[in-house]
Structure formats: structure tokens, C-alpha cells
Structure 1
Amino acid sequence: MSCHNCGSTNIHEGARFCPFCGTRLKNEINRKHLIKYISLPVASFVIVTFLVVLGYKHEENVNAQVVDQQRKAEELALSGRYEEALSLLEAAKKDRTDYSVLKKEMDHIEFAQDISEQINDVNDHIKNTEFEEARTQIKTISKQLQGENTVLLSPLKANFQESSTNVTVGEIKKEINTLNSIDLLSDKLKSIAYLDNVEAAKVENQIVTRMVELSTKQAEDKLSRNHFNEASYIIEEALQYAVNNEKLISLKEKIEQERESFLVAERVRIEKAISAAKKEEEKNKNKAVEVKKLNVKLDDFGDAYIEGEVINNGTRDINSVVVEFIIKDKQGKEIEKGKTNIFPNTLHPNETGKLKHIVYGVKKDIKMEIRNMNWYLSEKEGSPDE
């Protein structure tokens, strides 16, 4: 050891003052001993610090992993994959058993899963038209959702609202399916004013669809019987509610086309009917009566008995048929000229009348020639078009 003041050496290690100059010696420790003295605690500090940092980093990584799993679980739950979300949180709980947020998150997901299943039950009831059961469950869900505002419930609340709307729509649809007139359906349309915009739009669509269906059926029925005005009126009334409906517009065009075709056909039919009526009338006036039989018998006294039949080939009754005739012998010499009445006085269509005449004292074979026939037509019943 040496004195830092006078430079003297070989001073005793434990001396506090220099024996040569009396200066207080500095309490220096041999560097080698100093290094030995301080190296162990420093090394211990460094190791401990490293371990602490390493542990912190590990915990930090675990925390980050747990937070990431929690985030992914929430995303899964928001998409409706509840079982996957719960499995992910169960795995995260093993790393953080004391992390109460995970337990709370799991409770939220299980609650959301239960609500989702109940909404599915409501939708099943709607499909089966079990609206009373659906309405009861809607009330139960509504009570459960009161005061619950977690993020996980946001999509479920939208689904719940839609299902609730569908119950209302289903109930009204079930009722409107029993209504069979546009007036009743329009009254029902006015009665939905209490619904909100979404519900009203759905119900209005159902009512208008029913109007289109009903009016189309009724108009087609009228059209099949050529009641064009009635069919057209039905379609026009429906178009007031189903504006620009393609089906109704198409049927309206069909009605007008068939009306025009019918009118053309009707004109042709009437023209043909008039022509046929004229021909028929001509026949009734000029060719209705035809001689079917004409026999002449000569008795022992030389008298000739003439008998015959005439038929009404017309389409109307005829009256007072008179036959003009000439009696000749075999050589063509005229013996008698005259008229005779056919009986009965009135002949219906396709009915035959009798002709009888006697020529006295001819004493030879004769023949009767019909020169002309006259008759009257009975008055027609009804109008000429019938």
C-alpha cells in the first residue's frame, strides 16, 4: 500500500495514516479484491433483472395471446359461431385462470347463444304458422333483452326485431288470405298505419300481392265469359294499389286484345247470321212447301180420288197453304183447273199436311199437275237476332 501524498510505499495494509507524512490514507481496496467483492452481487442483479424482464415478457405475451383469443372469440360470437367462441375462451382460461374478464365474456356469449336459439324457435313457429306460440316467445325474449346492451347482442336485436315483424306480417297475411274482395283488402291496407316503416312495407307488400292474385283470378273468370268491361274494371281497380304491376298490365293488354278479337268475330258472326237469316227467310217465303206424295185412284163409278202430302221444309210455321193444280188426261188434255187447301191449316217445321180432291165422272186415267203453291208465314217470336 502507498501514500498518495508523499509517495511512501510498504505501508501496512490496515494503516489509516501515513507513518511518514501523517496524511490520512484513502481506504482503497485491492482492485482484484474489489472485483471479487462486487462481481457476485452485480451478477446476481443482472440475472435477477434478466429473469424479471423475461418473466414480464412472457406474461406480456400471454396477456397479448389471451386478449387476441378474446377478440377472436367475440368475432366468432358476432357471426353466430358461439360454440367455437366458447371453446377458444376455455383455452384462454387455462392460461389466465384468474382473469375475470374471460368469465364475464363467456357469460355474455352463452346468453347471446340462448337468445339466438330462442329466436330460431320463433322463426320455426312462424314457418309453421304457429303465430300465438311465436308471439308468446317474442314477449319472453323481449323481457330478457331489457337492459342488456353488450356488443354481442347488436346483431341478435336486429334479428329479433325482424322475427317480431315477421310474426305481425304472418298474422295479417293469415287473415288477408281469407279476404276475397279488393274493398276488404284496401280496408286492411288502411289499418296498418300503426306499424313502423319496416313492418308496414312488409304487410303492404303482402296485401298488394293478395290483391294482384285475387283480381287476376276474378278478371280471368270474367274474361272467359267475354265480360270484358267487368274484367277491365277489376284490373283498373287493382292497379290503383299495385301501380305498374307487370302482371296486371299484361292482363289488361290481354283483355283489350281479346275484346277487339271478340268484336271482330262478333261482327263477322252477325254478318253471317244476317246472311243466313235472309236465305232462311227466302226459303220460308218461296221454298218452304214441298209435295211428297200424289196418288190418283179411279173408282167403279168413274170418279177420280186424288190424295197427296206436302211437307213444311222451312224453319217457321206456315198457314193457309193453297195448292193450284191442273187435271189432265193421258193425252195431256186439260180436264179441270182449280185450287185446294192443305189441312191442317197450320204446318210446323217438318210437319206434313194432307191434300185431297175428287174429279167426278172422268171415267179414265188422269194426272194432277201442281202449278203453284201459296202460304202465309206465322209471325216470328222475339227479335230478328234471336
Structure 2
Amino acid sequence: MPKDIDERAQGQGINRWWLTPIVTLVCMLIAAIGLHFYLEYNNSTAQSLYDEGVEHALEGQYSRAQSLFEESLEHNPNYEAAEINYDFMSVALEVNEKLNNVDTLVDQGAFQQAVQITEEAESQLSSYNGEIINFLLDSILDKRNEVRMNQVEQRLADDPGAEELKILLWQVQSLEHEDAESLEEMLRERIVSHTATEANEKLQTNQFTAAISIIEDGLRYAPDNERLISLKSTIENQQSDFETQQQERIAQALNQYELEQEQNENNAIDVVEVEVNVNDYDEMQVTGELLSVATRPIHSISVTYKLLDEDEEEILENETYAFPDTLYPDETGQIDHTHSDIPEDIDLDEITISIEQISWYLDGQE
């Protein structure tokens, strides 16, 4: 036998004593590695389910998203984001239900109530933040804009006036909606049509300033509209022509007035006839007819005349008044005066008359 057999036996005993902790360590290491991979798998699966849930939430599929967040928590109960989103999906589903009710209210024409619901839904999300919240808020805003678009279209169907159309245009301009631009253009066309109609009505009665003011107000809402620009130019041209003609008419009227005034003051009476005859009492009777060619009433018409003998020597001069006292344009008046104081040596049959002066007052004068 070998001499060192005891030493070998003693050495082999020492190796077996160290084997147990080594095996234990290896097992623990394997278990740790296995646990690590298990946890990594769960975390990875939880993250994947969470990401998928977020995608569905951002597509508005809140019920499906909530289920995915729940599955994510089953793989990782400590996943705080998944837990928060899981709880929030209940709020999202409630808000989404409200938005679905909005469509029913719009169909019923209850626009104000529909807008109020969107505002309540928005208020319900005020304490939250995040990507899903932003998506939901955008959905609420889109729904509110849709309600207001429907409200404007409903009011348009009632053929509103120009002022209400301007208010509706202002409302549509504040909306972010795919149909807002076309609706805005329709409103502008309606405003242009109303503006042109109102301006033309003013133009028909020569209210040029009012017509231009209406056009300028309309151009604030459709600044490049050729119809309004052209109509404004037409109104300005007609105003210029009218004012020129008016000045000419005024000048003509003033000239006519001056002519008439001269006529009324200096040539208002035409003598139709005047006679001097001997009456049955051997008196000289002066009679005559006067015609008013004035353009306004005249009164207190006096006629100054002379009686002349056969040698055209003055016998006497006298003033008499026509009757009636007032003559209107184209009316006639009479004079009639009897002279009984003619000298006896005058041949009455040879007496003639000479009108020296006719005077009068215009109506309103004394």
C-alpha cells in the first residue's frame, strides 16, 4: 500500500466538506438568475400591455385599454402608471358616454345643453394631465366645435339678417373644424348679398352716404369681394353725378328765382284793357281789367292815371285800387272809378286816359 494513503484519505474528506456550500451557492445563483428572468419577463410583458393600452386609449377605445392596463397590473402589481391609467379609464368611459349623449342633444336641437355637457366633461378632467388626457380634451373640443357648427348651420337655415350673420361669422372663425372654412365662406357670401341689397335700397332714394357706409361695413367682412368693391364705385360715381346735377338745378333754380323775383317786383301786372267813358249822369267813368302775371300772390294793387283833353293836356291825376284786393297768379282784377269834377269847358267825349304807374305788394309784404 502507498505510504501516503492516510494523507490522501484526509485530503478527500476536506474536499467533501466544501462541496455543500458550493452546491448551495450555485443553486441560489441559478434561482436568482431564474427569478431575474421571470421578473424581467413580467416587467416586459406589463410594459408591452401598458403600451398597447395607451395606444387603444389614444384611439378612444377606453374599455379595451382598461382591460390591457388590468392585465399589465397582473404581471406587475407595482406598475404605478398602469394603475393610474386603469383608474382613469373609468373617468374616460364616463366622459365618452357624455360625449355620445351630445350627439342626441344636437339631433334634438338642444345646442346650449350640448355645449354645457362638453364643458362639464372638460371640467371633470381638470385635475388630470398626460397624453391620454390631452387626447380626450382634444376630443371634447372637437365635439364642442361640432356642436357649434351644427348650431350655426341651423341658424343659417332660418335666413338670419345681416347683423346676425356677422355674429355667426365671428363664431365660426373661432372654431377649429374641417368644415369651418367652407361655412365661413358661405357666411361671407350671405353678408355680401345682404349688404348689396341694403346699399341698393339706399341708392334708389339717393342716400349715397348711407349706401357707402353699408358697403364699407360689408367690406370689413369680405375685404376683397369684387361685387362690393364694384358697387361702391358705382355709388360714388352716381353720387358725383347727382351732386353735379343738383348744383346745376340749384343754379337754375336761383336764376329762375331771380327772374321770377324781378317779374314779381317790376312786371307783375298786365293791363288787359282800360277805358274812360261818359256815364248816364255826364260823369267820367274809368274802368279797366288787370291780369296778374306774378308767380306769387300780390295785393293792394294801385293804379295811377291821368285824364287828358283833346290836346293831351292833363286834366287831372288820380290813384285808384283794384279789386279784389289780392290777386293770385293768372287771376284778373278790376278798376272802376267815377269822376264828377271835370271842368264844364272840357269836351267829355274827347277825354283819354294815360296809365302812369301801377304798384302792388307781394304776399307777405306790407
Distance between the aligned counterparts of 1:186 and 1:165, measured in 2? Answer: 15
Deviations 1:23-44 (A, max 9, x none): xxxxxxxxxxxxxxxxxxxxxx
Shift in Å, 1:345: 2.6
Equivalences for residues 35-74 of structure 1 within 5 A = none
Distance 1:197 1:167, change over 3 A: closer
Are the aligned partners of 1:169 and 1:202 in contact in 2 as well (CA < 8 Å)? Answer: no
Distance between the aligned counterparts of 1:132 and 1:298, measured in 2? Answer: 108
What does residue 338 of structure 2 align with?
358
Shift in Å, 1:308: 1.4
Pick the structure with more helix per residue.
Answer: 2
Shift in Å, 1:331: 4.5
Question: Secondary structure in 2 aligned to 1:255?
Answer: helix
Please identify, of 223-232 and 195-204, the stretch whose mean Cα deviation from structure 2 is larger: 195-204
Are the aligned partners of 2:165 and 2:187 in contact in 1 as well (CA < 8 Å)? Answer: yes
What does residue 91 of structure 2 align with?
none
Distance between the aligned counterparts of 1:268 and 1:232, measured in 2? Answer: 24
- TM-score, normalised relative to structure 1: 0.51
What does residue 367 of structure 1 align with?
352
Shift in Å, 1:251: 0.7
Distance 1:194 1:364, change over 3 A: closer
Identity, in percent, stands at 31
Tell me, yes or no, if structure 1 residue 317 matches structure 2 residue 293: no
Distance between the aligned counterparts of 1:224 and 1:378, measured in 2? Answer: 38
Distance between the aligned counterparts of 2:166 and 2:148, measured in 1? Answer: 21
Are the aligned partners of 1:318 and 1:347 in contact in 2 as well (CA < 8 Å)? Answer: yes
Are the aligned partners of 1:318 and 1:348 in contact in 2 as well (CA < 8 Å)? Answer: yes
Are the aligned partners of 1:173 and 1:203 in contact in 2 as well (CA < 8 Å)? Answer: no
Distance between the aligned counterparts of 2:148 and 2:299, measured in 1? Answer: 81
Are the aligned partners of 1:301 and 1:363 in contact in 2 as well (CA < 8 Å)? Answer: no
Shift in Å, 1:245: 0.5
Distance between the aligned counterparts of 2:265 and 2:167, measured in 1? Answer: 63
Equivalences for residues 279-318 of structure 1 within 5 A = 279-318=259-298
What does residue 235 of structure 1 align with?
215
Find 1:346's aligned residue among 299, 305, 326.
326
Distance between the aligned counterparts of 2:354 and 2:161, measured in 1? Answer: 74
Are the aligned partners of 1:165 and 1:199 in contact in 2 as well (CA < 8 Å)? Answer: no
Shift in Å, 1:202: 1.6
Find 1:219's aligned residue among 199, 211, 225.
199
What does residue 315 of structure 2 align with?
335
Shift in Å, 1:190: 2.7
Shift in Å, 1:334: 2.6
Shift in Å, 1:238: 0.4
Question: Secondary structure in 1 aligned to 2:295?
Answer: coil
**Counterpart residue identity of residue 367, structure 1:** T
Distance between the aligned counterparts of 2:325 and 2:354, measured in 1? Answer: 22
Q: Please provide the CA RMSD for this pair.
A: 2.9
Find 1:173's aligned residue among 152, 156, 168.
156
Distance between the aligned counterparts of 1:213 and 1:196, measured in 2? Answer: 26
Find 2:187's aligned residue among 195, 199, 207.
207
Shift in Å, 1:294: 2.0
Equivalences for residues 130-279 of structure 1 within 5 A = 171-175=154-158, 177=159, 179-181=160-162, 183-192=163-172, 195-279=175-259
Distance 1:340 1:197, change over 3 A: same
Are the aligned partners of 2:274 and 2:287 in contact in 1 as well (CA < 8 Å)? Answer: yes
- TM-score, normalised relative to structure 2: 0.54
Distance between the aligned counterparts of 2:247 and 2:212, measured in 1? Answer: 21
What does residue 4 of structure 1 align with?
none
Are the aligned partners of 2:149 and 2:172 in contact in 1 as well (CA < 8 Å)? Answer: no
Question: Secondary structure in 1 aligned to 2:360?
Answer: strand
Distance between the aligned counterparts of 1:165 and 1:321, measured in 2? Answer: 82
Are the aligned partners of 2:149 and 2:180 in contact in 1 as well (CA < 8 Å)? Answer: no
Distance between the aligned counterparts of 2:274 and 2:263, measured in 1? Answer: 23
Deviations 1:226-276 (A, max 9, x none): 111100110000000011110000111111111111111111111111111
**Counterpart residue identity of residue 369, structure 1:** S
Which structure has the larger Rg over C-alpha atoms? 1
What does residue 37 of structure 1 align with?
none
Question: Secondary structure in 1 aligned to 2:223?
Answer: coil
Question: Secondary structure in 2 aligned to 1:238?
Answer: helix
Question: Secondary structure in 2 aligned to 1:198?
Answer: coil
Matched positions, count: 219
Distance between the aligned counterparts of 1:220 and 1:257, measured in 2? Answer: 14
Are the aligned partners of 1:320 and 1:346 in contact in 2 as well (CA < 8 Å)? Answer: yes
Question: Secondary structure in 2 aligned to 1:294?
Answer: strand
Deviations 1:305-352 (A, max 9, x none): 122121221112222211111112444333222211222332222222
Deviations 1:159-193 (A, max 9, x none): xxxxx999888645323x2x223x21111223336
Are the aligned partners of 1:298 and 1:363 in contact in 2 as well (CA < 8 Å)? Answer: no
Which runs of 5 or more residues in structure 1 are unaligned? 1-130, 134-163, 381-386
What does residue 112 of structure 1 align with?
none
**Counterpart residue identity of residue 161, structure 2:** N
